[in-house]
Chains A and B, each alone.
Chain A
Amino acid sequence: MNDTPTPKPDLREVVLAARNVAKSYGNIHALKGVNFDIHRGQVTTLFGENGAGKSTLMKILSGVIQPTTGQIILDGQPVSFQSSTEARDRGISIIHQELSLAPNLSVRDNIFMGREITGPTGVNFAEEERQVRRLMAELEEDIDPLTPVEELRLGQQQIVEIARALSVDSRILIMDEPTSALSATEVEVLFKVIRDLTSKGVSIVYISHHLEEALQITDHAVVLRDGNMTAYAPRADIDLEWIVRNMVGENYDLGSPPTGYAFGDTALSVRDLTVPDPAGGAFNVVDRLSLDVKAGEIVCIYGLMGAGRTELLETVAGRLRAGRGQIVLEGHEVSHLTIAERIARGLALVPEDRQRDGLVQTMSVGQNLSLASIMNFTKGLFTQKRAEQDLIDQTIRKVTVKTSGGAAAIGSLSGGNQQKVVIGKMLATNPRVIMLDEPSRGIDIGAKAEVFRLLAERAKEGLAVVYSTSEVGECLSIAHRIIVMHKGRISAEFDSTVSKEKIMAASGESVAA
């Protein structure tokens, strides 16, 4: 574990390598045979869009999950980690994208969770505290070791997560989006710590959506796309344009904005909408935002994580409470209505996280499809089986769900088909406006194209479509209009001819390099 740092690390030494690593979840192939090297004392950055397989690869390298096929080679020896603890004992640790802290415990207890320093009288809290203070000093962060984690703001929690990974003296440190909630100063400090670590011979694997930021720190770049490694190059040979090209791909056709018809009247109008932070923060996640969408129009909302896209859509749908502002659907104010009443008026939301918010796993495909429109085929006390079955069959056909039938278990479907079920469920309510929050999250490219084709078709029939995405390639597909959100506000608005770089620049994802 405690590798003696060589004064001049050998730059070409590969400490950890993945050979032909593949991972499948049922029908979903998250990784399709990836080769990947990590060099001693260097930073290797993984680039790729959501669902490209970055996180899956990192989870495999750190022992959180096991690959379906392929090999992991540590110091020239094939290894197979059965758990993250095993990987940690071999000097590999990971900072997860999702924070894995216990909010009720103090910073100290979180950092030493599972490997408490014990003495003859139980846990040696004084020693733990001393070490935490040293780590915090190193990270130039003024966090008291005894503060409960829930009292820290998100950025500080991320610092705690980083401190925990640093505290184990790893040889290989994997950072999955470590900066998503950090301020610019905190990022600077983190980079200083990273350089410090690499000079000691620690290898870093870095993942970030902030391309320019990642370019500052990286020594090697690896690009993943749809589970394949598409490019690999040292820092000297690459620039931003190279990354974007390899990330997005050349033949990445998700369709084009449907044409040949005129837009109708304004279907959805949002006026000065302000949404306070649902977690109780002092800021507004949506800040005096106004937006109009016409019938038949497709609007894409682009923005980074935390830009306020989800909060905007959930507020319009009725999940979150608006602080101020109006939501007008076809001339009627709907802000005071419940979710069910808004759905009845024709306002539907396809939520971002289909497992958590979209599907009821205990019910069949058909029951999921008919859930939102069940009152439409209820006469008196009972539902009409025939009408429901017709609706289910029709929806399965229309949104092309690949399933053995309405009675199949929802878990038997692939991610893309599950997503189609969620979309089909909301389309079955005959909406006037449909909002989709990251509709392409975690589904493969074929399913993505189908989902977009479906939406384009419905738009032609007069449906107003609003979808959000964090993948710039998806903005330049079927959307007539692209809106970029940054910190709860619209930072820019483009038509469908804009360049990817312009969209990214407006989102705060700086590409000035």
Chain B
Amino acid sequence: MSDTTASRTAAAKGAGGFSIGRLLLEGRAFFALIVIIAVFSFLSPNYFTVSNFLIMASHVAIYGILAIGMLLVILNGGIDLSVGSILALSGVMAGAMMQGIEIEAMGVILYPPVWAVVVLTCTLGALVGAVNGVLIAWFKVPAFVATLGVMYVARGVGLLMTNGLTYNNLSGRPELGNTGFDWLGFNRLAGVPISVLVLATLAILAGLMLSRSAFGRWLYASGGNARAADLSGVPVKRVQITVYTLSGILSAIAGLVLSSQLTSAGPTAGTTYELTAIAAVVIGGAALTGGRGTVRGTMLGAFVIGFLSDGLVIIGVSSYWQTVFTGAVIVLAVLMNSIQYGKGARKG
């Protein structure tokens, strides 16, 4: 019994033969994106241009940032329905701070600089996310229910703060020293919108975290089998709280980008965005049962959804059809996921 093989470089591609079917299945999000781009480029001369791609990418940025957070949560075997609401609440918070915080007792109005607004907003997102995490990890509330509750509460707080209205003036005033909020949504660096750069940076960071850090491994392990991870010394609860906190922070960042793009912050922004984010993660090949999924796949999923819906707009298809198409793509993606992961998954 000594025929042990321990090859250093072996089988990075996994065992099994090379077949086109398998390649298509595993790279499905990538191929879907190629098909979408090819079809729309054929249908509309305006689709295949650099400027259009950059515009579409800046639309994708919002969903994409949310989807990264959602991926972390789904890898853990959970779900976060509150991201759209946290996005809106963060936008409203940022808007309120840009308008100035009036402290009546002292009779002053504070105008925090933009960097402070960003930091405070992200902190808020982290706090709300941590509430999710604590409810789920310590109080054993099912993730679906906990985040559903937080979704309503966050949305409600946003509505209360603004009385249902929208903050329209977010550009700040030079004499108050708080200009520059629109930088996130409007400016470009070397021709690339800042929002796209933010998405790229966050995606790379998340990718590194998942593939190279101990935390990433803990996340995959606790999503794949929490009991085994626990017995191997993985701090399962801490991992759980951390992923919801990160998802909250990413939602807040998405909220900042969105309100900067719109130069307005309303409490009804981001409604149903959580579903789009989940769709992106699923199309990207992650398993909703946890433990499987990559940032690369999720990014492809986000681009598939974004490029598809923008393409339909460009060729002038009714928005009702867009909904139908998006739904069909999601169902197809889940179908492929169950083909890929179905075998052996039923074993007790």
Rounded to whole angstroms, the CA-CA distance of A446 and B1 in the bound complex is 9
Give chain A residues whose Cβ lies under 8 Å from the Cβ of B214: 374-375, 378, 383
Interface code A376-414, partner B: CB below 8 Å = 1, 0 otherwise?
001001110100010011001100111111111101100
- We find that the number of chain A residues with CB closer than 8 angstroms to chain B is 52
Rounded to whole angstroms, the CA-CA distance of A446 and B223 in the bound complex is 33
- Determine which of A339, A407, A411 lies in contact with B231 in the assembled complex, contact meaning CB atoms within 8 Å: A339
Rounded to whole angstroms, the CA-CA distance of A459 and B141 in the bound complex is 44
Give chain B residues whose Cβ lies under 8 Å from the Cβ of A411: 344
Please give me the residue from chain B that is nearest to A393 by CB atom. Answer: B6
- Determine which of B5, B213, B221, B347 lies in contact with A363 in the assembled complex, contact meaning CB atoms within 8 Å: B221
Rounded to whole angstroms, the CA-CA distance of A408 and B225 in the bound complex is 18
A73 at the interface (CB under 8 A from B): no
A400 and B2: CB pair below 8 A?
Answer: yes
Please give me the residue from chain A that is nearest to B2 by CB atom. Answer: A400
B217 and A361: CB pair below 8 A?
Answer: no
Give chain B residues whose Cβ lies under 8 Å from the Cβ of A342: 233
B231 and A362: CB pair below 8 A?
Answer: no
A358 at the interface (CB under 8 A from B): yes
B112 at the interface (CB under 8 A from A): no
- Determine which of A360, A405, A407 lies in contact with B224 in the assembled complex, contact meaning CB atoms within 8 Å: A360
- We find that the number of chain B residues with CB closer than 8 angstroms to chain A is 40
B19 at the interface (CB under 8 A from A): no
Interface contact tally, CB-CB below 8 A: 127
A396 and B231: CB pair below 8 A?
Answer: no
A360 and B12: CB pair below 8 A?
Answer: no
Give chain A residues whose Cβ lies under 8 Å from the Cβ of B208: 382
Give chain B residues whose Cβ lies under 8 Å from the Cβ of A372: 232-233
Please give me the residue from chain B that is nearest to A343 by CB atom. Answer: B233
Kindly specify which of A177-185, A259-267, A349-357, A496-504 makes contact with the partner chain: A349-357
B11 and A405: CB pair below 8 A?
Answer: yes
A124 at the interface (CB under 8 A from B): no
Interface code B1-25, partner A: CB below 8 Å = 1, 0 otherwise?
1111111101110110000000000
B297 at the interface (CB under 8 A from A): no
Interface code A360-374, partner B: CB below 8 Å = 1, 0 otherwise?
111100010011101
Give chain B residues whose Cβ lies under 8 Å from the Cβ of A370: 217
Rounded to whole angstroms, the CA-CA distance of A338 and B344 in the bound complex is 33
A356 and B234: CB pair below 8 A?
Answer: no
- Determine which of B7, B228, B290 lies in contact with A359 in the assembled complex, contact meaning CB atoms within 8 Å: B228
Within 8 A of A (CB), among B212-269: 212-214, 217-218, 220-221, 223-225, 227-235
B292 at the interface (CB under 8 A from A): yes
Rounded to whole angstroms, the CA-CA distance of A450 and B221 in the bound complex is 27
Please give me the residue from chain A that is nearest to B221 by CB atom. Answer: A360
A134 at the interface (CB under 8 A from B): no
B191 at the interface (CB under 8 A from A): no
B316 at the interface (CB under 8 A from A): no
B213 and A383: CB pair below 8 A?
Answer: yes
Rounded to whole angstroms, the CA-CA distance of A317 and B231 in the bound complex is 8
Given known A372-B233, A408-B15, A411-B344, contact A357–B4 (CB-CB < 8 A): no
Tell me, rounded to whole Å, the shortest Cβ–Cβ distance linking B19 to chain A. Answer: 17
Within 8 A of B (CB), among A416-445: 425-426, 429
Give chain B residues whose Cβ lies under 8 Å from the Cβ of A349: 231
Within 8 A of B (CB), among A64-119: none
Rounded to whole angstroms, the CA-CA distance of A254 and B302 in the bound complex is 56
Tell me, rounded to whole Å, the shortest Cβ–Cβ distance linking A463 to chain B. Answer: 18
Tell me, rounded to whole Å, the shortest Cβ–Cβ distance linking B233 to chain A. Answer: 4
Tell me, rounded to whole Å, the shortest Cβ–Cβ distance linking A445 to chain B. Answer: 12
A358 and B228: CB pair below 8 A?
Answer: yes
Give chain B residues whose Cβ lies under 8 Å from the Cβ of A450: 1
Give chain A residues whose Cβ lies under 8 Å from the Cβ of B6: 392-393, 396-397, 405-406
A344 at the interface (CB under 8 A from B): yes
B348 at the interface (CB under 8 A from A): yes
Given known A339-B231, A351-B231, contact A361–B12 (CB-CB < 8 A): no
Tell me, rounded to whole Å, the shortest Cβ–Cβ distance linking B281 to chain A. Answer: 15
A319 and B212: CB pair below 8 A?
Answer: no
Tell me, rounded to whole Å, the shortest Cβ–Cβ distance linking A379 to chain B. Answer: 10
Tell me, rounded to whole Å, the shortest Cβ–Cβ distance linking A65 to chain B. Answer: 12
Please give me the residue from chain B that is nearest to A350 by CB atom. Answer: B231
Give chain B residues whose Cβ lies under 8 Å from the Cβ of A401: 4
Given known A362-B291, A382-B212, contact A405–B232 (CB-CB < 8 A): no
Rounded to whole angstroms, the CA-CA distance of A409 and B347 in the bound complex is 15
Please give me the residue from chain B that is nearest to A339 by CB atom. Answer: B233
Tell me, rounded to whole Å, the shortest Cβ–Cβ distance linking A397 to chain B. Answer: 6
B291 and A363: CB pair below 8 A?
Answer: yes
Tell me, rounded to whole Å, the shortest Cβ–Cβ distance linking B4 to chain A. Answer: 5
A28 at the interface (CB under 8 A from B): no
Tell me, rounded to whole Å, the shortest Cβ–Cβ distance linking A372 to chain B. Answer: 4
A389 and B15: CB pair below 8 A?
Answer: no
Within 8 A of B (CB), among A317-354: 317, 319, 338-340, 342-344, 349, 351
Rounded to whole angstroms, the CA-CA distance of A243 and B118 in the bound complex is 76
Tell me, rounded to whole Å, the shortest Cβ–Cβ distance linking A304 to chain B. Answer: 23
A339 and B220: CB pair below 8 A?
Answer: no
Rounded to whole angstroms, the CA-CA distance of A339 and B234 in the bound complex is 8
Tell me, rounded to whole Å, the shortest Cβ–Cβ distance linking A358 to chain B. Answer: 6
Rounded to whole angstroms, the CA-CA distance of A409 and B345 in the bound complex is 13
- Determine which of A358, A371, A402, A405 lies in contact with B7 in the assembled complex, contact meaning CB atoms within 8 Å: A405
A357 and B1: CB pair below 8 A?
Answer: no
Rounded to whole angstroms, the CA-CA distance of A357 and B230 in the bound complex is 8
Give chain B residues whose Cβ lies under 8 Å from the Cβ of A340: 233-235
B12 and A407: CB pair below 8 A?
Answer: yes
Within 8 A of A (CB), among B170-201: none
Give chain A residues whose Cβ lies under 8 Å from the Cβ of B233: 338-340, 342-344, 372, 429
Rounded to whole angstroms, the CA-CA distance of A118 and B7 in the bound complex is 62
Rounded to whole angstroms, the CA-CA distance of A400 and B2 in the bound complex is 7
Please give me the residue from chain B that is nearest to A429 by CB atom. Answer: B233
Please give me the residue from chain B that is nearest to A359 by CB atom. Answer: B228
Please give me the residue from chain B that is nearest to A405 by CB atom. Answer: B10
Give chain B residues whose Cβ lies under 8 Å from the Cβ of A344: 233
Within 8 A of A (CB), among B130-163: none
A338 and B220: CB pair below 8 A?
Answer: no
Tell me, rounded to whole Å, the shortest Cβ–Cβ distance linking B39 to chain A. Answer: 34
Give chain A residues whose Cβ lies under 8 Å from the Cβ of B224: 360-363
Rounded to whole angstroms, the CA-CA distance of A408 and B224 in the bound complex is 16
- Determine which of B14, B213, B228, B291 lies in contact with A357 in the assembled complex, contact meaning CB atoms within 8 Å: B228
Give chain A residues whose Cβ lies under 8 Å from the Cβ of B7: 404-405
- Determine which of B2, B15, B229 lies in contact with A360 in the assembled complex, contact meaning CB atoms within 8 Å: B229
Give chain B residues whose Cβ lies under 8 Å from the Cβ of A403: 4-5
Tell me, rounded to whole Å, the shortest Cβ–Cβ distance linking B235 to chain A. Answer: 6
Residues in B lying within 8 Å of A, measured CB to CB: 1-8, 10-12, 14-15, 208, 212-214, 217-218, 220-221, 223-225, 227-235, 287, 290-292, 344, 347-348
Residues in A lying within 8 Å of B, measured CB to CB: 317, 319, 338-340, 342-344, 349, 351, 355-363, 367, 370-372, 374-375, 378, 381-383, 385, 389, 392-393, 396-397, 400-409, 411-412, 425-426, 429, 446, 450
Which 8 interchain pairs have the tightest Cβ spacing?
A362-B291, A405-B10, A362-B224, A340-B233, A360-B224, A372-B232, A343-B233, A382-B212
Task: Provide 13 A-B residue pairs closer than 8 Å at the C-beta atoms, listed in order of the A residue.
Answer: A319-B230, A340-B233, A358-B231, A359-B228, A360-B224, A370-B217, A375-B214, A378-B213, A382-B208, A401-B4, A404-B11, A407-B10, A407-B14
| 16 additional contacts (CB under 8 A) given A357-B231, A406-B6, A425-B232 | A340-B235, A356-B228, A360-B229, A363-B291, A367-B217, A370-B217, A371-B221, A371-B234, A378-B214, A382-B213, A393-B8, A400-B1, A400-B4, A402-B3, A404-B10, A406-B10
